[in-house]
Structure 1
Amino acid sequence: MTTELRMLRPEEWDGWFGKVELAFGGPGEAPEERSLWQELTEAERSIAAWDDGEVVGTAGAFSFGMTVPGGASVPAAGVTMVSVQPTHRRRGVLRSMMRRQLDDVRERGEALAVLTASEGAIYGRFGYGAATLEMRLEVDTVRLAPPELPGADGVRLRLADPVKALADCERVYARTVPARPGMLARQPGWERLAVLDPERDRGGKGKLQCVLAEVDGEVRGYARYAVEPRWNNEGPHGAVRLRHIVAPDPEVYVALWRYLFGIDLTSSVAVPDLPADDPVLHLVADMRRCGIRLRESAYVRPVEVGAALAARTYQRPVDVVLDVADAFCPWNEGRWRLTGDEAGAVCERTTDAPDLALSVRELGSAYLGGFTLSSLAAAGRVRELRSGALRAASVAFASDTAPWLPHGF
């Protein structure tokens, strides 16, 4: 059997997405969620692999801007909906789709591709490196006192309809985007994904709620959550299932957390995804009562090494020659001289002797500052070819703020 790759036609979306649902298992998306994914899908960026009139493979991409160290927003392809039907495994379908997609990303002038992986081992061979961590918490609100901070009492909190509050919440979210590497500037419509609340998917939780935090009449933060009621012989021990909490100002952030600690009939706040350096860990008396768990989140691939490295800034002055291996995108292969500092950077081809040797995968892992070149070298993934080059470059690549992907796609 042979497969044909081609761009998705809009009228083919329903069958194409059905194959995605089939590959990932489960009952499929609720109708309202399915409808929104159809609106958000960029058909011209979506690939279908066909065999005898049937879709056997899928891959898509969304157009984002990703914040990089220094605060710039770099055009990035958000790789999504990648699947191969079980009848066509190990026949090169995935490889051919990745090849087509990365060629297209390059033609569009996007220096980066980013994805979240259903299985972490899949994408390294295509040059993607784990670049951010997400922190999951289950905060014991019985044994821990609510956070306190001077000024938090001046924040006004009010409950709002999650859908009607979208515009206010999106303005707050937009304020946070330049401040942290990994954040996504997104197209209109994405904010609606955050408030989808199909009744069949609640799993015993109540309706989605939204609390807005205001200062001088302006919305400065928000939290979205649902309450999961639970009871035993001792009484109520419900859980607050926090979906999002966003507030650029410390006083507002504390006010929101204090509110969440005080919700009646609950004894914990469960959070699925926060930055690894989230300040809530310093707002409680005992981190051990927060049930901290870390896992990788975003995988980053430099599609154009020179453009990607020149787009970010560096914590310390850096002048290093990188010998980059990239068999899948050979235009990146070879030596690149990176010079830069906190003001900007230049990255160009060179014939000078290399200082460090690494693959594009390791470059992706270090790119946002979430993983250090030194830690990758300790794992044998980066080789120092000039004494002292590793430490200097590792410090330069670091980020003062932990990178974080704010949501999946």
Structure 2
Amino acid sequence: MTTDVRVLQPDDWERWFSGLELAFGGVREPDEARAFFRDVTEFERSLGVWDGDGTVGTAGAFSFRMTVPGGAAVATAGVTMVSVAPTHRRRGILTSMMRRQLDDVRALGEPLAVLTASEPAIYGRFGYGVATQRLGARIRTDHVRLQLPPGTEEFTLRLAEPADVLDSCEAVYARQAAARPGMLVRRPGWERQGVIDPAQERAGASALQCVLAERGGEVAGYARYRLKPEWEGAGVPAGVVTVEDLEASEPGAYAALCRYLFDLDLMSTVAMRNRPSDDAWQHLVSDIRRCSVALRDGLFLRPVEVGAALEARTYATDVDVVLDVSDPFCPWNTGRWRLSGGPKGAVCARTDDPADLTLSVRELGTVYLGGFSLAALAAAGRVREERRGALAAASLAFSGTAAPWLPHGF
């Protein structure tokens, strides 16, 4: 086999993206979505593997900043559009792209790389660990009541065309992103992703709709959603409200939006597909058993530079621990690291001191945002305690106050 790995050129984008579509089932993306991804593609960070004139492998990265525990927005490579043609599987193409990509990420000085996985089993061998969860639910609003907090009545609601209020919604999102680990500080242009609305992907539901929660003329929250009228039995309304986005900067605004979504006429179910695992509606509903809650993996994360990554976040309690890290794919991370810090910051440097905990870079990625604990991984045999008491102390230090969450794919 003779293949050529090279940086993507603008003139090759159509063939490159078509190769990606073929690897993901051969269905062409709607023109609106294609135009968006063309606009946000960072050509200098995108790789194509070519066999003659055909694309047989694709991989890209976006230059993101991601909120980490403590509130810092850390430079992060958003790994994306990874595919290998079905004719060229098991020939080392994926490994070669991952190798090139992580070397490039390191050269750019980005301490973290993240991705969403169509097949989670693929990326563990490259050091990525699942770091966030996404909560889904189907809430039977004909059986569930909301217990609203004080201040809900202070907010008025206003319907608007989603594209017409992007700036107001993006300001709310930015406030939320600064407070929750895992959320991306969106670069200009990325706000458009939330209002891409091709008719062929609505599956019988309405066009995207948007409602704003306002107080004193200021937008404090928004929800984007679709309605799908359905009927059962002898004409009993059983429609579904599918919530695409829901953000609010105050509890009253959040509750007002939830009440609106739960009370829409002819609808009996609110469907949520991607919400944080600690989403507040779970504490507003009268009967959580009627909500069919389910969790699945969200963001996968790998530290590209262990020392810089651990220094970029803060810790819930004071911590002084020596981590013995293995990282076969990025061997510059392998070895012992002393992490010393707390709520105000941390330092992490190489050391010859004896290890307190032994783990791989994959486990470090899993606990990095505070959504999973070192103690849980130790119970699964994936972290080993070398010094008695070190596990409990470090597990507490890595914990967070808000569940990490990635609100949208890339």
Shorter-chain TM range is: over 0.9
Deviation at 1:146, TM superposition (A): 3.4
Residue 201 of structure 2 aligns with which residue? 201
- Please state how far the C-alpha of 1:248 moved relative to its aligned partner: 1.7
Q: Does structure 2 conserve the Cα–Cα contact (< 8 Å) formed by 1:147 and 1:258?
A: no
- 2:366 corresponding residue in structure 1: 365
Match of 1:277 in 2: 278
Which residue in the other structure is 2:401 paired with? 400
- The 8 Å contact of residues 326 and 360 in structure 1, kept in 2 or not, is answered as yes
Letter in 1 for 2:124: G
Amino acid at match of 2:333: N
Q: Aligned residue for 1:266? A: 267
Deviations 1:257-277 (A, max 9, x none): 000011110001001110001
Offset of residue 2 of structure 1 = 2.1
- Matched residue, 1:211: 211
The aligned counterpart of 1:386 is 387
Equivalent in the alignment of 1:183:
183
Displacement of 1:27: 2.3
- Measured in 1, the distance between the counterparts of 2:330 and 2:207 equals 47
Aligned residue number for residue 315 of structure 1: 316
Aligned to 2:153: 153
8 Å contact kept, 1:57–1:94 = yes
Structure 2 CA distance for aligned equivalents of residues 369 and 150 of structure 1: 30
Is the Cα–Cα contact under 8 Å of residues 146 and 286 in structure 2 kept in the other structure? Answer: no
Q: What SS does the corresponding residue of 1:65 show, helix, strand or coil?
A: strand
Deviations 1:329-369 (Å, cap 9, x if unpaired)?
01101010000000000000111111111000000001001
C-alpha displacement at 1:151, in angstroms? 1.3
Q: Report the Cα offset of residue 116 of structure 1.
A: 0.4
1:19: how far off? 0.5
Which structure 2 residues correspond to residues 273-312 of structure 1 after superposition, within 5 A?
273-312=274-313
The alignment's C-alpha RMSD in Å is 0.8
Q: Aligned residue for 2:329?
A: 328
Deviation of 1:207 (Å): 1.0
User: In structure 1, the residue corresponding to 2:48 is in which secondary structure?
Assistant: strand
Secondary structure of the structure 2 residue equivalent to 1:165? helix
User: Partner amino acid for 1:96?
Assistant: S
Q: Which runs of 5+ in 2 are unaligned?
A: none
CA-to-aligned-CA distance 1:360-408 (integer Å, 9 cap, x gap): 0000001001110011011110111111111110010011111101111
Q: Distance in 2 between matches of 1:186 and 1:149?
A: 30
Question: Which whole-Å deviations, capped at 9, do the CAs of 1:214-248 have from their partners, x for residues lacking one?
Answer: 01110110000010010122421100011000002
Preserved CA contact (<8 Å) 1:147 1:257: no
2:17 aligned with 1:24: no
Q: What does residue range 91-110 of structure 1 map to in structure 2 within 5 Å?
A: 91-110=91-110
Please give the alpha-carbon distance, in whole angstroms, between the structure 2 residues aligned to 1:231 and 1:114. 42
What is the CA–CA distance in structure 2 between the aligned matches of 1:242 and 1:279, rounded to whole Å?
15
1:147 Cα shift? Answer: 3.9
State the one-letter code of the partner of 1:307.
A
- SS of the residue corresponding to residue 192 of structure 1 reads helix
Overall identity of the aligned pairs, in %: 61
Structure 2 partner of 1:67: 67
C-alpha deviations, 1:64-90, integer Å up to 9, x for none? 111110010100000000000011100
Aligned to 1:14: 14
Q: Per the alignment, in what secondary structure is the counterpart of residue 164 of structure 2?
A: coil
Please give the per-residue CA displacement for 1:307-332, whole angstroms capped at 9, x wherever unaligned.
00000000110000000000100110
Secondary structure of residue in 1 paired with 2:277: coil
CA distance in 1, matches of 2:148, 2:220: 18
Partner residue of 1:337? 338
On the 8 A contact 1:8/1:46 being kept in 2, the answer is: yes
Q: What are the within-5 Å matches in structure 2 for residues 118-129 of structure 1?
A: 118-129=118-129
1 CA distance for matches of 2:186 and 2:214?
24
**1:47·1:59 contact (CA, 8 Å) conserved in 2?**
yes
1:375 aligns with 2:382: no
What is the deviation of 1:32? 1.1
Aligned-partner SS, 1:70: coil
Aligned to 2:221: 221
Contact 2:15 2:54 in 1 (8 A): no
Alpha-carbon distance between aligned partners in 2 of 1:178 and 1:338, rounded to the nearest angstrom = 24
Distance 2:157 2:176 in 1: 20
Deviations 1:142-178 (A, max 9, x none): 0111342221111010000100010100000001111
Contact 2:113–2:302 (Cα < 8 Å) also in 1? yes
Question: What SS does structure 2 have at the residue aligned with 1:319?
Answer: strand
Stretch deviating more after TM superposition (13-22 or 228-237): 228-237
The answer to whether the aligner puts 1:2 opposite 2:2 as a matched pair is yes
In structure 1, what residue type is equivalent to 2:222? Y
Q: Number of matched residues?
A: 409
**2:249 matched to which residue of 1?**
248
Q: Distance in 2 between matches of 1:295 and 1:85?
A: 27
Distance 1:3 1:125 in 2: 23
Q: Which amino acid letter does the alignment assign opposite residue 286 of structure 1?
A: D
Task: Tell me, yes or no, if the aligned pair for 2:130 and 2:297 is still in contact at 8 Å.
Answer: yes
* Consecutive aligned runs of 4 or more in structure 1 exceeding 6 Å deviation: none
- Partner in structure 1 of residue 349 of structure 2: 348
- Matched position secondary structure for 2:338: strand
| Cα distance, 1:52 vs structure 2 | 1.9
Unpaired stretches in structure 1, ≥5 consecutive residues: none
Give the distance between the partners of 1:397 and 1:150, measured in 2 at CA.
Answer: 33
CA distance in 2, matches of 1:261, 1:356: 47
Q: 1:106 and 1:406 mapped to 2: Cα distance?
A: 26
Contact 1:138–1:270 (8 Å) recurs in 2? yes
What SS does the aligned partner of 1:20 have? Answer: helix
Q: CA deviation at 1:26?
A: 4.8
| DSSP 3-state at the match of 1:121 | helix
Distance in 1 separating the partners of 2:189 and 2:95? 31
